[in-house]
Amino acid sequence: MERVFDYSKLKDPQYFRDGRLDAHSDHRYYASVLDMEAGYEDFKESLNGLWKFHYARNYKAAVCGFEKTDYCCKDWDDIHVPAHIQMEGYDVPQYANVQYPWEGHDEIEPGEIPEYFNPVASYVKYFTVPKRMEGKRLFISFQGAESGLALWLNGTFVGYSEDSFTPSEFELTDYLVEGENKLAAQVFKWTASSWCEDQDFYRFSGIYRDVYLYTIPEVHVRDLKICAIPEETLKKATFDIRLHMILAETAKGKAVIRLAKDGNAVIEEELEVKEEVSHSWTVDAPALWSAEEPNLYDLTIEIYDAEGTLQEVVPEKVGFRRFEMKDSIMTLNGKRIVFKGVNRHEFSSVSGRCVSEAELRKDLETMKQNNINAIRTCHYPDGSLIYRLCDEYGLYLIDENNLESHGTWDTAMFTKDHSAVVPNDRPEWLGMMLDRVNSMYQRDKNHPAILIWSCGNESYGGKDIYEMSQLFRKLDPNRLVHYEGVHHDRRYNDTSDMESQMYTSVEGIKEFLANDRSKPFICCEYTHAMGNSCGAMHKYTDLTDTEPLYQGGFIWDYIDQTICKKDRYGKEFQAYGGDFGERPTDYNFSANGIVYGNREASPKMQEVKFNYQNITAEVGKTDVKVINKNLFVNTDTFECRVTVARDGHVIRQTVLETHVEPLSQETYTLPIPQETLGGEYAVTVSFHLRQDNIWAEKGHEVAFGQYVYQVEKAEETCAKSVKVIRSTHNIGVQGEHFEVLFSVLSGGLVSYKFAGKEMLKSIPKPNFWRAPVDNDCGNQMPARYAQWKIASMYLSDKALGDELFKMSMLTAQEGEHSATVSFTYNLCTIPAAKCQVSYEVFGDGRVKTTLSYDPVKELGDMPEFGMMFKLDADYDHVKWYGLGPAETYADRKKGAKLGIYQNLVKDNMAEYIVPQECGNKEEVRYAEVTDRKGRGMRFEVTSQNGPMCFSALPYTPHELENAMHPFELPKVHYTVIRASKAQMGIAGDDSWGSRTHPEYLIDVSRKLEFSFWFCGI
């Protein structure tokens, strides 16, 4: 009976495939060895390119009968395939997190779909069967279409498929005609399956992955299953293959199996071909696959027909590795594994979820360069290529099934009414869920990089998800199964082989494991990387060293989900949720990446790289303890370099030979003499690649440690005198090349001229505020600390109620080589508070500035304690001796090194999509802000005060805070300098409530005092 498309079925979760072929492995096949070596796929014909297109806002508005052969679509608009229609000018991208994208527009429940607005994309492709494919069975593969796809050929309905993220394939043979054929498809944005596709991502639709026609030879490997598992001793391995063949009625033949390593044959055998071919071999001393050493074997299967004619060549990569649970610990090749992972959305700021190979390789190179060893595909299967690349580059994968129904159980957590939760225990959803499990497994099963299957994300619990986990186990007993949601619903606790939680604090993890040690614990999401974040991440990574059952986590997330857009003046920027006028939306929550939307690393990556490094160098004055956390690699794989710097300048470099076995440690004497000259010394021990590899060049640094010590030296003193000039309204202090003016009327330092040039654009003032970071907004810091913003903006040298022109009573204390002027500022706080600023001007032009404050208990701590200066924007070069090169904060500075660095003021504006605090530099000894001629100001800490925090930005904290996009910031007129004793940490356990850890707050238990010098240069 002829199949007919019925749109009304799209609301039925039991209607998810119709005429779609069974899923199979993603192996490639070629007509000859030469074709294989050239990468030429003779059996395939790409349909990527321009298709004819019609957009309708709902099904009623779609063109009825467009699929029929007598309906000409050749004058329709063109659209590119693959692409999301929202990235091609139809509909708009919509970012939503938990809420469903139709909420507030359609009042519907599972079993219904939006009717009024539910875009329908109608595609038509006219094609002629290539001559090489004529007379053969012809198939079509859609590698990805969101979210429902109906297909016709020459007016006949071919089939229907849901599951946006795995291939949908159909046979076209019976519907072909000679000459031109009309292929028609409709893609529906929201179907029944959309209730289970409520991922935290941009909502798109359309044919967004490759489309191609393909034929098969008379004897064809339809499905290939590889199992390459070492024995427990790792000295031998079992190598199994299973071929599911498609054979012509009378076809017979043979399969020649070759397995080789580095061109040397390991196995070569001929097998008889039948519908199912299975065989097993033993491989001695297998080279094992891991992220540290991604050893791959080359499998080649040549298929011949009964006459001995080659039909096809199937190449595949094989990785031997043993992943298992032993004594409640996950082990790889017998060693306890630690996941140093990220969650990675498949995303491009240019093309949405249509990601190029170049972008994929850029991602994996960046990850490997920064010691990331694992990816969780969140929260759906990615395009097939990334799995092959992870095999090649060496990255562990949690391959996650396409399931998230967060919007159905978000409120149920509080109401305890789970009747609307899907899939839960509802039998009508089970078939769809099992089909998705099978589709992902069959496509991806041969990739050694995949260690764990995941049932999905944030969909509560229940029987259906348990059955999904059981299907994974039935299909694949050699991998483990993951699901976080059992944390909220323990009825089917065995759904997940490991305890997986999100954003649990380190103390919470310890508490859990103190009571339940039946499973290993991972954080499938942690250290939420929204904006300026990832503070105190080291607490999690340190825990992996002390708690065997805690086996790491996956940062949320890898890349900002932002989209290139132009502002009203034509300047490109990275847009986030709501910027396309879409509602509802979750705004800038779309951007939580450790790389920006342009795929360049954000400053957070510096800390990630250090926390994830596999070699720890505990450096002392004369020796270094090298702790090798690698599971399989000796430290002699890397070149160990020892560098000594005095006051930031490198004075010695040498190489240290190390030979620390995996999971071992050794202490080495440093091959450097003891330094006797006075100064500050930094000894750095670092490890570097000895040769180029696929993800980095020779010399790339993979790990480091640093030790800093002092050798006493005499302090310089000033012998020059100053001249003090007193008048009614001002006090002046003059020296050989400078002049300083203090205003009685204005209540502050109003002028600092050096070499005849005025340096200050406004009065330096105490500052207690920073532009809130996203984490601050999430934990209500702006409300909790609001008085400190007001105190910074409106402090005054006059008491409240004083006359406008009342003058301050100033006195200048004169010394032999200096003069001191002090101001007291009243802070607009309740209860009232005060602070003092004193300026001691020396004869060489240096001004020692001291800010002091007696804490008022009721006011608590403040975001920052320091001084703010404004210089002309011509002073746009920054050089500092402190931690770098990237920005650092009290709770995010372990990955930085002490050294001398320089950049431009604009470079300190991190590209966070919402302007916020950025560019801070911790442990700064001195900093210079100059113009292009090298003239400007130097800021330096006093020896008694210790290092300072320092930043030089084009904007004040208040200007940053007032902008929701970079283009909203004013034109640059100033360089704003903040020198401070401390700034509170930026936090990062999560971005919706977790506060800065107490040890990274400013201590107000005693008097605060901060001193530093500034001087013209």
Exposure string over 271-309, b if 16+ CB within 10 A, otherwise e: bebeeebeeeeebeebebbbbbebbbbbbbbbbbbeeee
Strands 623-628 and 615-619: antiparallel
Query: DSSP of 312-358, one letter per residue?
Result: EEEEEEE-B--EEEETTEEEETTEE--EEEEEE---BTTTBT---HH
> Could you write out the DSSP letters of every residue in 816-828?
SSEEEEEEEEEE-
Which of these is catalytic: 458, 607, 739, 887? 458
Cβ contacts of 975 within 8 Å, gap of 6 or more: 870, 871, 872, 873, 875, 876, 905, 929, 952, 953, 954
Confirm if 584 and 96 have CB atoms less than 8 A apart. yes
Angle at 865 between CA 882 and CA 880, to 5 degrees: 20
Dist CA 498 CA 376 (whole Å): 15
3-state secondary structure of 467: helix
Mark whether 858 is an active-site residue.
no
- Write b or e for each residue in 933-964: b if 16 or more Cβ atoms lie within 10 A of its Cβ, otherwise e: eebbbbbbbeeebebbbbbbbbbbbebbbebe
Amino acid at 350: V
Sheet bearing 297-305, strands edge to edge: 264-272, 253-261, 297-305, 310-318
Q: Pick the catalytic residue: 346, 484, 525, 639?
A: 525
Residue with the two structure tokens 């006059």? 798
Q: CB within 8 A of 872, min separation 6: which ones?
A: 761, 973, 974, 975
Would strands 339-344 and 550-555 be described as parallel, antiparallel, or unpaired? parallel
Catalytic, 940? Answer no
Q: How far is Cα 182 from Cα 156, in angstroms, rounded to an integer?
A: 10
Q: Are 368 and 696 in contact (CB under 8 A)?
A: yes
- Exposure on the CB side of residue 530, measured as CA atoms within 13 A: 24
Nearest to 152 by CA among 1, 12, 2: 2
Q: What is the full DSSP assignment across 94-111?
A: EEESSS-TTTTT----TT
User: Measuring CA to CA, how many Å separate 379 from each of 340, 398, 642, 844, 890?
Assistant: 18, 10, 43, 63, 33
Rounded Cα distance, 978 and 1012, in Å:
12
| 601: DSSP letter | B
Tokens read off for 499? 């305890």
**Which tokens sit at 46?**
């790409």
Name the helix (H) or strand (E) containing 388.
Answer: helix 385-393
Alpha-carbon torsion, ordered 940, 942, 946, 951, to 10 deg: -20
722 in helix, strand or coil?
A: coil
Q: How far apart are CA 755 and CA 763, in angstroms?
A: 19
For tokens 């022109």, the residue is 805
- Strands 812-814 and 765-767 come out as unpaired
For residue 348, give Cα distances in angstroms to 356, 599, 805: 8, 8, 58
3-state SS of 124-143 is: EEEEECCHHHCCCCEEEEEC
Quick one: which of 419, 468, 479, 493 has its CA closest to 444? 479
- Report how far apart, in Å, the C-alpha atoms of 518 and of each of 174, 176, 499, 941 are: 55, 58, 9, 53
Give residue 622's identity as a one-letter amino acid code.
Answer: T
Q: Which residues are catalytic?
A: 458, 525
